[in-house]
Amino acid sequence: MLINMKLLMSIVFLAVTAGPVLAQETLEIGAAMPLKSKALPAVSGAQTSIASVKGDKGTLVVFWCNTCPWVERYEDRMVALAAAYQSRGIGVIAVNPNDAVAYPDDSMDEMKKQAATHGYSFPYVSDPGSEVALAFGAKRTPQAFLFNAADVLVYQGAFDDSPSDAAKVGAAYLTDALDALLAGTEIAMTETKAFGCTIKFQ
């Protein structure tokens, strides 16, 4: 863990002093979905890939975990959003890239409890080696990546502008992007940011 953190620090240090570093770059809009066929252990006990949840209209991949209070604040919003858009042709999957050895609350057993407690209607998978997170260039939880039907990235970023309080959402970035995707119109904001938890890379 310490080595990974030091590596990340040196990478970002380099990013400031020596230009962009490809390994940690977040996927750009228009990029193809990486590692979509990789088998990932799911809370169901099965192996699930991102491709297997692909919807007719698109796929939403959300980096998620058990140990981030900001994820906790989005539990209800995530469940409601998934229910609303799965029925409209959007596949949904939550990926936990955190190091479960260093953070036991992110273990598969705990993930199963979390999925059951909140009634997830979507697969919740772990990400051995944090390989999917690295391939996506994901940096934090929660962080959403929305792909169109051709598996091309059309939105990346936050759910909305009010992590602390669902009642005070002013800009619903992700649902706006989903609605635009389904309507076949231009997505107004394709990349957004929000405060969140660092990914505890394995």
Partner 1 sequence: MHARRTSHHLALALTGLLLSGCAAKSPDNNALAPESVSYNDLVKEISSRKGQVVIVNFWATWCMPCRIEFPDFVRFGKEFADRGVDVVFVSTDYEPDMPQVIDFLKENGVPWESYIKTGVDFEFISSFHSEWSGALPATFVYDRNGSLRAFWEGITSFDELEASVTAILES
The site for partner 1 (CB under 8 A) is made up of 5-6, 8-9, 12-13, 15-17, 20, 26, 67, 69-70, 139-140, 143, 157-158, 161, 163-165, 173, 192-199
Q: How many residues does the chain have?
A: 202
Rounded to a whole number of angstroms, the minimum distance from the CB of residue 37 to partner 1 is 26
Q: How far is the CB of 26 from partner 1 (least distance, A)?
A: 7
Q: How far is the CB of 135 from partner 1 (least distance, A)?
A: 16
What is the C-alpha to C-alpha distance for residues 44 and 124, in angstroms, rounded to an integer? 8
- Smaller CB distance to partner 1: residue 42 or 94? 94
- Both tokens of 19, joined, read 């230009």
* Residue among 49 and 67 whose Cβ is closer to partner 1: 67
Closest separation between CB of residue 67 and partner 1, Å? Answer: 8
* Count of CA atoms in the C-beta half-sphere (13 A) of 59: 22
Nearest to 149 by CA among 73, 62, 60, 84: 60
Beta carbon of residue 136, minimum distance to partner 1 (angstroms, whole number) = 12
Q: Which is nearer to partner 1, 8 or 51 (CB)?
A: 8
Cα–Cα distance between 113 and 45 in angstroms, integer?
13
User: Which residues have CB under 8 Å from 14's CB, separation 6+?
Assistant: 21
If we measure between CA atoms, which residue out of 171, 192, 178 comes closest to residue 148? 178
Q: Which is nearer to partner 1, 116 or 193 (CB)?
A: 193
Whichever of 25 and 56 has its CB closer to partner 1, that residue is: 25
What does the alpha-carbon distance between residue 25 and residue 189 come to, in Å, rounded to a whole number?
19
